[in-house]
Amino acid sequence: RSSKHVAQSAEGYHIGGNTPLQSYLKMENVLDAALRSGAQGIHPGYGFLSENPTFADLCEQAKIKFIGPPSTAMRRMASKSESKDIMIAAGVPVTPGYHGSNQDPQYLLEQAKKIQFPVMIKAVMGGGGKGMKISRSEHDFIEQLESAKREGRNAFNDDVVLIEKYIERPKHYEIQVFGDQYGNYVYLFERDCSIQRRHQKIIEEAPSAITPEQRHDMGTKACAAARAVGYVNAGTVEFLYDCDTKNFYFMEMNTRLQVEHPISEEITGVDLVEWQLKVASGEPLPLTQSQLRINGHAIEARVYSEDPFTFLPGRGTVDYYREPDFARVDSGVQKGTDVGIFYDPMISKLIVWGEDR
């Protein structure tokens, strides 16, 4: 009731208990709030139900606009293995690997040997670094496989895995794409999200150090990926870039707006949420690819509530809080906010822009 986002809203509706399972993940409660308020649409944010095709279907049935892609596109991109098959068919390069249905451990070991170690074992329904394990030789393969499957079962109720070549010197690049209901697609350039901890991004910047030719190639392939699944609205196509070979490979597609979208806004001058609302309202994309330009350089740092000695999430009251006047801050807290244990420890984002890096 006293949180910052409620204070900034014209109306507030109670949707359940403290935990996500009691509130933000309860589809009927969120829909009920929308219906009671007379809202015409639901913007699902970054987490919780934002990539849930069942929720998108429920919104459609309730005649409330889900501000995001159609559920069909979400379903096709949700599975890391199915999405890779779609990408191969669309001519998008994918990391060498095995993503078939045979899950016999010995068979998977033989596939890993063919790919050549080191390999990455990934839960196909995974995300947020869960269900991802590196195997460096056949000696530790079965142990890492069992660990990845166990995490997949616990986090996603699915223990199917895929195996792909582990790239030793990677960069993590992602392309911001946008599609409308008329078959138009654009890419709003790339973000470098290579600085990570526990497979979670913590600092992102745009643009990256790739050449204009690579940027065009990656952007065009990202739009092909979106077109292949009939994608509409904002999405992000993630690529792994091999610093040794200079090749890039499709990793996955996030079928929502991302936490780091502000740096794309800073370098393009585009309000991505405004575009989301326009496209959801049936309007065409406001700009074409040739009208989009990169201006300057932007960096986002995620600000966490943590114990500075262990980097584990911390809880408590924000006693002092001051935002710098030279930067953009997207914040979920203010002085006096109680940071609890139920949600992500990220409490705000610091976004800076300059004429160059």
Q: Active-site residues: which are they?
A: 256
Alpha helices (H) along the chain: 4-7, 27-37, 53-61, 71-78, 80-89, 105-115, 138-156, 212-228, 261-268, 272-280
What's CA 340's distance to the chain center, in Å? 24
Q: Do residues 329 and 351 touch, judged by C-beta distance below 8 A?
A: yes
Cα(74)–Cα(82) distance, integer angstroms: 11
What's CA 46's distance to the chain center, in Å? 8
Radius of gyration of the chain (CA): 21
> DSSP for 135-156?
E-SHHHHHHHHHHHHHHHHHHH
Closest CA to 190 of 165, 223, 159: 223
Written as six digits, the tokens of 340 are 């609890």
Q: Do residues 169 and 242 touch, judged by C-beta distance below 8 A?
A: yes
Long-range contacts of 350-353 (CB under 8 A, 24+ apart): 350/300, 350/301, 350/303, 350/324, 351/262, 351/263, 351/266, 351/298, 351/299, 351/300, 351/327, 352/298, 352/299, 352/300, 352/326, 352/327, 352/328, 353/266, 353/267, 353/296, 353/297, 353/298, 353/328
Cα(279)–Cα(182) distance, integer angstroms: 10
